[in-house]
Amino acid sequence: MTGPVTGPVTGPVTGAEAAVEALRREGVNHVFGLPGTTIMHLIDALGREPSIRYVSVRHEQVAAFMADGYSRAGGGLGVCMASRGPGAANLSIGVHNAHAESVSVLALVGQVGDGIAYREAFEEMDLVRFFEPITKWQVEVHAAERVPELLQRAVRTAVSGRPGAVLVSLPQDVQTHPVDVAFQSRFRPSPPAPDPGDVEAAVRRLASAERPVVVAGGGMLGAEHDSHLLEFVDRLQIPVVTSWQRKDVFPNDSRLFAGSLGYGAPPVTDELVRDADVVLALGCRFSEFATKRWTLLSADTALIHVDVDPGVLGHVYVPAIGICADAHATAQALLAALDAAPGGPHHDARTERRRDRAEAVRRRYREQTRLPDVPSSQNAVSSAGLVEALRHVLARSGALLVQDAAGFGTWIQRYLDFTAPATFYAASGGSMGWGLPAAMGIQLARPRDRIIAVCGDGSFWMVAQDLETAVRENLPVVNVITNNFSYGNTRDRQRTAHAGRYVGVFYDNPDFAEYARLLGAHGERVEKDGELVPAIERALASGLPAVVDVIQDVHEGLPPDLVPPAAQ
């Protein structure tokens, strides 16, 4: 997308005004932040720009998490702001999560003025060095006339290639300095196209394989399922698994779908990939959890790896064919190459064997993802009961599901199906507290949709103060809190790794439903499986931000056969 080249704006503007105008020209319409001294001029300029909504939060990490959710839900670049020092450090939690998950986020941070820098000024820190390990690019702008140039470059960097987080640091005196500025045209570089020879070689490998598998990762995310991938795997009868926390990139009701990799995957999913003779990986990075600490692929497996980032190819597994290109464009090219291959459509005996194998895998997958009969105690809700309730409510309401970094996520990964794209958002970066803020950002990006966020009690309590933000900004997200009065993931690891010696994992909680009502939100408290569906539906119907406090047994945890990764 491009825009006209423009000359200097009429009359001098301040560096802060130039920054806001650059954001406007780049299509930014939401900024999330917490006010502070070194960004007060930026906030003032934002307040005078009617096309950009500034959302004030109660903790900087929430601003970054909201920007993350907003960006991944299709709202455009997520922009978060914080003041120097402690504010920037708080912001870094969410910036790290966004960068780890390839989400385009711009962190705009105020800095002490150049006139007092390097004198241990109040809350001074080297922001560029601090953010360097967790961002794609970092810059501190020391001349007001360069604000548009460097800010627009940062935006392009965040959204191009493999998306990620970027930092722009603006010293306070740069923000107030008046200057004539020029703005660049808005453009986005096109992603690389796949090499035709590599595509043809990949098709030959896949068509001649006996046990091929496709791994569809975050590079296949989109508003619609990729029709080229759907047709390609159907023609060759190749089963598909998705990467960790990306379960909605392929329709889960397809007879070729065989699960999502990672923590919570049913055994058949891992076995399918381990047994493969050829793996086509589209837009995935083979993370630690997805690969069970990089034990998933056999040395005998031929890997065809497609990713827009050349640094990903060969980083973990050396591919037989490495294609540096957009995953969607490559899926389209693979289908075209299959059509053009000698012999035309592939309906040979090998394809029929693959069809039989895919059907057998699908049967095993359905058996292994049947909800276990785990009875709840008299005054606590079972995880199986919560999954069943979510199935019912999601089907009836069409709501989107947001999953925080919580132990209950393993139940979602294994037992909940997502048939439509862009209906499931999960924190694979590991940051607790992501769920509520991300859900608020997603709500702003998709205002017509209903959002249900499933959060652990430990995660929710880290950001609970910003339920007030949801009330103030009229964001009717429903927070379902799995309340087992413990840091469940760590508790499970202590049980298996340290013979049940629990240290620091149990605590008390307030009545979250009452807390919600005190803030003007809707609150429900549930202690029995049968109460879940009516409570969640009342929360949705309220039209308010809501909390459904789901009381669970203090030892409620993983699905019956799952062992925590740290104990394997």
Residue 346 has pLDDT above 70, yes or no: no
Residue 3 confidence (pLDDT): 44
How confident is residue 497, by pLDDT bands cut at 50, 70 and 90?
Answer: confident
How confident is residue 486, by pLDDT bands cut at 50, 70 and 90?
Answer: confident
Residue 539, both tokens: 């929360």
Residue 11 confidence (pLDDT): 64
- Is the CATH number 3.40.50.300 carried by domain 196-368? no
- Please answer whether residues 179 and 18 qualify as being in contact, where contact means their C-beta atoms are separated by less than 8 angstroms: yes
- Please answer whether residues 72 and 104 qualify as being in contact, where contact means their C-beta atoms are separated by less than 8 angstroms: no
- Selection from 153, 146, 186 nearest residue 170 by Cα: 146
Dist. CA 301–CA 277, nearest whole Å? 5
Cβ neighbours around 304 below 10 Å, total: 25
Residue 538, burial from CB neighbour count under 10 angstroms (0-12, 13-18, 19+): middle
Residue 527 confidence (pLDDT): 95
Residue 1 confidence (pLDDT): 37
Domain ranges in the chain are 13-179, 196-368, 383-567
E strand map for 34-86: 53-56, 78-82
- Amino acid present at 69: G
Cβ neighbours around 345 below 10 Å, total: 11
Residue 558 confidence (pLDDT): 79
- Mean pLDDT calculated for residue range 295-315: 91
- Selection from 473, 486, 487 nearest residue 545 by Cα: 473
Do the domains spanning 13-179 and 196-368 agree at the CATH topology level? yes
Q: What is the CATH number of domain 383-567?
A: 3.40.50.970
Q: What is the pLDDT of residues 348-387, one digit of tens each?
A: 888 899 999 999 999 999 999 999 876 656 778 999 999 9
- Mean pLDDT calculated for residue range 198-226: 94
Q: Which CATH number fits domain 13-179: 3.40.50.970, 3.40.50.300, 1.10.645.10, 3.90.1150.10?
A: 3.40.50.970
- Please answer whether residues 417 and 260 qualify as being in contact, where contact means their C-beta atoms are separated by less than 8 angstroms: no
Query: What angle is formed at CA 143 by the lines to CA 139 and CA 148, rounded to 5 degrees?
Result: 70
Residue 565 confidence (pLDDT): 61
- Beta partners for 307? 324
Q: pTM of the full predicted structure?
A: 0.94
Dist. CA 452–CA 425, nearest whole Å? 10
Torsion from C-alpha of 126, 130, 132, 134, nearest 10 degrees: -150
Dist. CA 249–CA 551, nearest whole Å? 32
Lowest mean pLDDT segment, chosen from 189-203, 478-492, 552-566? 552-566
